């Protein structure tokens, strides 16, 4: 019995997601002790709604990081997508259920552009997506005249509730997306090839894997997920805002979530479940310190330190893991 328990805990601790899960639970205990409000239904909804957007974008970021790339433009694509929806519905009379996939498709096309520049023209993804970030931001501000608009009339009602306004809508989408892509990364060919392309680009190509296809696909997935998050958030707050934090905050949160969750920037390894837990940790920190009464400014300082500490711990742990005890 004791031995079985030890094997179980050993196996658990060796999983990359273990440390971040422990942190997420620890924070929950701490904030519950510090504030009785923390675990009330209303506040759990707040946490869920803060976790979901980060987690969904982080799914794409993990795929990209594992395949050895990064996307800094995904946040601005998120800000742009609901405007695409608004233009299609309000200016061209496209029905919602057609405008929605159309907006995601255009978002994915931005990912396609990123992927083509990176793989065919051999520009580093960091620089490429920095370029598309500013380009899309310009496009967004020009077409929207930098003014927020209310969401289209046709979007209201059932679609709005389902896509993001319902209290548990966004987190439900997040969990579904995390589950699907966790399987894609760990149990499907696409994931295996994503790992191969990031872990050993030469070897993967030698084996006949088409690296460009994998990378372009992952850029498209990331951009489409960004677009989805933008539309979800617009539905939730009832407004489409070009100046929303989406531009950089969402991107940085998603990268942080991926990294805190245990995905290496070097490529070849990463975990999507870890990124979800990373997003949860970020949301808990923000929400919890808010409840305790710290100002937003202090929270940034704490967030920064939390990222640094978790990364240092991650380095240390992975060195331990590599050193031994297979």
Partner 1 sequence: MTTHPLEVIGIAKRFGALTALADVNLHVGRGEVLGLIGDNGAGKSTLIKILCGFHRPDAGTILVDGSEVTLKSVDHARSLGIDTVYQDLALVNELSVYHNMFLNREIVRWPLLSNRAMRRRAEEHLKDMGVNLPDVTVEVAKLSGGQRQAIAVARSVYSDAKVLLLDEPLAAMGAKEGTMILDLIRDLKRRGNVSVIIIAHNYAQVLDVCDRVNLLQHGRITFDKRATETSLEELTDLVVAEYRRRGAD
Q: Which residues bind partner 1 (CB under 8 A)?
A: 183, 187-189, 192-193, 195-196, 198-200, 202-204, 206-209, 268-269, 322, 326
Residue-wise DSSP of 261-311: TT--TTSS---HHHHHHHHHHHHHHHHHHHHHT--HHHHHHHHHHHHHHHH
Pick 197 or 260: Cβ nearer partner 1: 197
Rank residues 129 and 263 by Cβ distance to partner 1 and give the closer one.
263
Angle (CA) 276 273 178, round 5°: 75
CA atoms of 151 and 100, how far apart (whole Å): 13
Q: How far is the C-alpha of 161 from the C-alpha of 165, rounded, in Å?
A: 4
To partner 1, the closest distance from the beta carbon of 172 in angstroms equals 22
Q: How far is the CB of 267 from partner 1 (least distance, A)?
A: 9
DSSP notation for 124-135: -HHHHHHHHHHH
Tokens 């934090």 correspond to 245
- Give the nearest distance from C-beta 130 to partner 1 in angstroms: 27
- The DSSP symbol for 35 reads -
Q: Which residues contact 146 (CB under 8 A, 6 or more apart)?
A: 242, 243
Do the Cβ atoms of 20 and 237 come closer than 8 Å?
Answer: no
69 vs 241, beta carbon nearer partner 1: 69
Q: Please report how close the Cβ of residue 306 comes to partner 1 at its closest, in angstroms.
A: 27
* Helix 96-120, helix 211-237: angle, nearest 10: 140
Nearest distance in Å: CB 159, partner 1: 29
- Of 183 and 305, which has the nearer Cβ to partner 1? 183
CB-nearer residue toward partner 1: 121 or 323: 323
- Nearest residue (CB) to partner 1, 78 versus 209: 209
CB of 216 vs partner 1, minimal distance in Å: 18
């Amino acid at each position: 019995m004791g031995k079985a328990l030890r094997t179980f805990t050993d196996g658990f601790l060796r999983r990359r997601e273990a440390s971040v899960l422990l942190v997420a639970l620890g924070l929950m205990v701490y904030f519950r002790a510090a504030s009785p409000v923390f675990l009330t239904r209303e506040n759990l909804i707040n946490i869920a709604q803060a976790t979901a957007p980060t987690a969904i974008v982080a799914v794409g970021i993990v795929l990209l990081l594992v395949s050895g790339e990064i996307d800094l433009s995904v946040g601005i694509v998120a800000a742009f997508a609901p405007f695409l929806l608004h233009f299609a519905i309000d200016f061209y009379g496209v029905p919602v259920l057609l405008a929605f996939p159309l907006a995601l498709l255009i978002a994915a096309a931005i990912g396609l552009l990123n992927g083509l520049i990176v793989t065919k023209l051999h520009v580093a993804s960091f620089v490429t997506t920095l370029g598309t970030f500013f380009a899309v931001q310009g496009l967004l501000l020009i077409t929207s005249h930098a003014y927020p608009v209310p969401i289209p009339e046709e979007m209201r009602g059932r679609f709005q509730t389902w896509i993001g306004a319902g209290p548990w809508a966004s987190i439900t989408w997040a969990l579904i997306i995390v589950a699907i892509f966790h399987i894609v990364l760990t149990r499907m060919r696409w994931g295996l090839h994503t790992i191969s392309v990031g872990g050993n680009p030469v070897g993967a190509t030698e084996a006949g894997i088409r690296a460009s296809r994998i990378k372009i696909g992952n850029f498209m997935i990331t951009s489409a997920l960004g677009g989805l998050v933008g539309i979800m958030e617009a539905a939730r707050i009832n407004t489409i805002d070009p100046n929303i934090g989406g531009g950089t905050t969402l991107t940085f949160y998603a990268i942080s979530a991926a990294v805190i969750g245990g995905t290496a920037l070097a490529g070849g390894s990463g975990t999507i479940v870890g990124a979800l837990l990373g997003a949860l940790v970020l949301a808990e920190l923000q929400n919890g310190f808010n409840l305790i009464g710290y100002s937003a400014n202090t929270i940034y300082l704490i967030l920064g330190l939390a990222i640094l500490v978790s990364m240092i711990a991650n380095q240390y742990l992975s060195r331990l893991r590599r050193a031994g005890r297979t």
